[in-house]
Amino acid sequence: MCGIIGCVAEEPVAGILLEGLKRVEYRGYDSAGMATISDGRLGVRKGVGRVSEIEGKQRLSTMSGSTGMAHTRWATHGGVTDENAHPHTSCRELVAVIHNGIIENYLPLKRALKARGHKFRSETDTEVISHLLEAEYKRVRDPLQATRAAVKKLKGQYAIAAMFQDRPDVMTGARKDAPLIVGVGNNVNFLASDVLAFIGRTDRTIFLDNLEVVEITKDAVKIVGPDGRRVRREPTQVAWELSDVSKSDYAHFTLKEINEQPRTVVSASVQDPERVERFARALKRAKSLYITASGTSYHAGLLMKFRLNKEAKVRADVVVAGELKEHTEFMGKGSVVVALSQSGETADVLEAVKEAKRHGAKVCSIVNAAGSTLARESDVVLLLNCGPEVGVAATKSFTAQVVVANLVVDAVLGKKRPNGFDELSDAVAEALKCERQVKDLVNEYRDRPDFYFVARGYESPVALEGALKLKELSYIHAEGMPASELKHGTLALIEKGTPVVVINPSGPSHAESLSNAEELKARGADLIGVSDEKDEVYRHFVRVPAVQPKFMPIVEAIPLQLLAYHFAVARKNNPDYPRNLAKSVTVK
Ligand code: M6R
What one-character-per-residue DSSP string does 227-270 give? TS-EE----EE----GGGGS-TT-SSHHHHHHHTHHHHHHHHH-
- pTM for this predicted structure: 0.84
Helices (H) and strands (E) in the chain, counts: 17, 25
Question: Rounded to whole angstroms, how far apart are CA atoms 111 and 132?
Answer: 12
For 174, phi then psi, to 5°, come to -155, 155
Q: Which of 415, 397, 84 is nearest to 264 (CA)?
A: 397
| Catalytic entry in 22, 256, 396, 583 | 583
| Cα(72)–Cα(19) distance, integer angstroms | 12
Q: Do 390 and 469 share a structural domain?
A: no
**56 and 158 inside one domain:** yes
- Statement to judge: residues 224 and 297 lie in one domain: no
Compute the Cα dihedral for 153, 158, 164, 168 and give only its sign.
positive
Q: In the structure, what pLDDT confidence band is assigned to residue 279 with cuts at 50, 70 and 90? A: very high
Q: What is the reported pLDDT for 93? A: 86
pLDDT band of residue 171 (cuts 50, 70, 90) is very high
Q: Do 94 and 219 share a domain, yes or no? A: yes
CA atoms within 13 A on the CB side of 51: 26
Domain region containing 188: 3-238
Does 440 share its domain with 478? Answer: yes
Question: Would you say residue 253 lies in a domain?
Answer: yes
pLDDT (tens digit, 9 = 90+) per residue, 367-416? 999 888 999 999 999 999 999 998 999 999 999 999 999 999 999 999 87
In this predicted model, what pLDDT tens digit does every residue of 4-13 receive, in sequence order? Answer: 999 999 999 9
Name the helix (H) or strand (E) containing 81: none
Q: Measure the CA–CA gap between 58 and 70, rounded to whole angstroms.
A: 13
Contact assessment for residue 411 and residue 304, using Cβ atoms and an 8 Å cutoff: no
**Whether residue 468 is found in the same domain as residue 552:** yes
- C-alpha torsion angle, residues 294, 300, 306, 311 (rounded to 10): -140
Provide, rounded to the nearest whole percent, the portion of the chain with pLDDT above 70.
99
* 346 C-beta closer than 6 A to ligand 1: yes
Q: Is 513 in the pocket of ligand 1 (CB under 6 A)?
A: no
Are 47 and 33 in contact by the 8 Å Cβ rule? The answer is yes
Q: Is the pLDDT of residue 562 over 90?
A: yes
Ramachandran angles phi, psi of 445, nearest 5°:
-115, 10
Whether residue 380 is found in the same domain as residue 234? no
Place 586 in a pLDDT band, splitting at 50, 70 and 90.
Answer: low
Q: CA-CA distance, 33 to 342, in Å (whole number)? A: 27
Q: Tell me how far apart the alpha carbons of residues 266 and 276 are, in angstroms, rounded to a whole number.
A: 16
Identify the CATH number of the domain in which residue 136 sits.
Answer: 3.60.20.10
Q: Is residue 232 part of a domain?
A: yes
Q: Once rounded to an integer, what is the mean pLDDT over residues 188-197? A: 93
pLDDT for the residue numbered 246: 76
* Average pLDDT of the segment spanning 32-53: 94
Exposure string for 303-337, b = 16+ CB within 10 A, e = fewer: bbbbbbeeebebebbbbbbbebbeebeebeeebbb
* Average pLDDT over every residue of 57-84: 92
Torsion of CA 302, 481, 321, 366, to 10 degrees: 30
Gap between the Cα atoms of 82 and 262, Å rounded: 43
Peptide bond before residue 87 is cis, with ω within 30 degrees of 0: yes
Domain contains 450: yes
255 and 342 share a domain? yes
* pLDDT tens per residue across span 312-345: 999 999 999 999 999 999 999 999 999 999 999 9
Ligand 1: distance of its center to the CA of 472 in Å? 11
3-state secondary structure of 420: coil
Residue 292 CB–ligand 1 contact under 6 Å: no
**Domain stop point among 180, 207, 238:** 238
Q: Give me the number of domains the chain comprises.
A: 3
- Check if 472 has its Cβ closer than 6 Å to any atom of ligand 1: yes
Do residues 152 and 269 share a domain? no
Tell me which residue has its CA closest to atom 8 in ligand 1: 295
Contact 180, 211 (CB under 8 A): no
Does residue 584 have a pLDDT over 80?
A: no
What number does the ligand 1 atom closest to the CA of 392 have? 14
Mean residue pLDDT of the chain comes to 94
Q: What is the C-alpha to C-alpha distance for residues 160 and 4, in angstroms, rounded to an integer?
A: 8
Ligand 1, atom 7: nearest CA belongs to which residue?
295
**pLDDT value for 237:** 85
Looking at the domain assignment, is residue 260 inside a domain? yes
Separation of CA 341 and ligand 1 centre (Å): 7
Q: Which atom of ligand 1 is nearest to the CA of 346?
A: 4
- Region 449-464: mean pLDDT is 97
Q: Residue 212: helix, strand or coil by DSSP?
A: coil
Together in a domain, 394 and 461: no
Nearest ligand 1 atom, CA 295: 12
User: CB neighbours of 76 closer than 8 A, spacing ≥ 6?
Assistant: 1, 102, 125, 587
395 lines ligand 1 (CB under 6 A): no
**Residue 193: CB within 6 Å of ligand 1?**
no
Pairing of strands 450-455, 477-482: parallel
Active site residue 2: yes
Same domain, 283 and 224: no
Task: Provide the β-strand partners of residue 188.
Answer: 9
Examine the fold and report which residue of 238, 258, 292 is the final residue of a domain before the chain moves on.
238
Per-residue pLDDT for 587 more than 90? no
**What separation in angstroms does the CA of 201 have from each of 16, 34, 143, 156, 246?**
9, 19, 26, 32, 14
> Is 92 among the domain residues?
yes
The CB of 255 under 6 Å from ligand 1? The reply is no
- pLDDT at position 360 is 97
100-145 residue pLDDT tens: 999 999 999 999 999 999 999 999 999 999 999 999 999 999 999 9
Reported as type and span, the H/E element at residue 367 is: strand 362-367
Please check whether residue 588 lies inside any domain of the structure. no
The Å distance, Cα 584 to ligand 1 centre, comes to 7
Q: What is the CA radius of gyration of the chain?
A: 25
Of 27-31, 173-177, 471-475, 572-576, the poorest mean pLDDT is in: 27-31
Atom of ligand 1 nearest to the CA of 394: 16
The Cα–Cα gap between 161 and 130 comes to 10
- With H, G, I as helix, E, B as strand and everything else as coil, classify residue 450: strand
- CA 304 vs CA 317, 338, 403, 488: distances in Å: 10, 10, 10, 26
Atom of ligand 1 nearest to the CA of 585: 8
Phi-psi region of 434 (alpha: psi -120 to 50; beta: other; left: phi over 0): alpha
From 2, 7, 364, 434, active-site residue: 2
Last residue of a domain, one of 238, 266, 282: 238
Residue 269 Cβ < 6 Å to ligand 1: no
Dihedrals phi, psi of 205, to nearest 5 degrees: -130, 140
pLDDT value of residue 413: 95
Q: Is 169 left (phi over 0), alpha (psi -120 to 50) or beta?
A: alpha
Phi, psi angle pair for 352, to nearest 5°:
-60, -40
What CATH number does the domain containing 369 carry?
3.40.50.10490
The residues, any chain, with a CB within 8 Å of residue 313's CB and separated by 6 or more, are: none
Query: In the structure, what pLDDT confidence band is assigned to residue 242 with cuts at 50, 70 and 90?
Result: low
| 245-276 residue pLDDT tens | 778 889 999 999 999 999 999 999 999 999 99
Residue 217 CA to its chain's centroid (Å): 30
Same domain, 22 and 43: yes
Which are the contacts of 444, defined by CB distance < 8 A and separation ≥ 6?
Answer: none
585 assigned to some structural domain: no
Asked, for residue 72, whether it belongs to a domain, the answer is yes
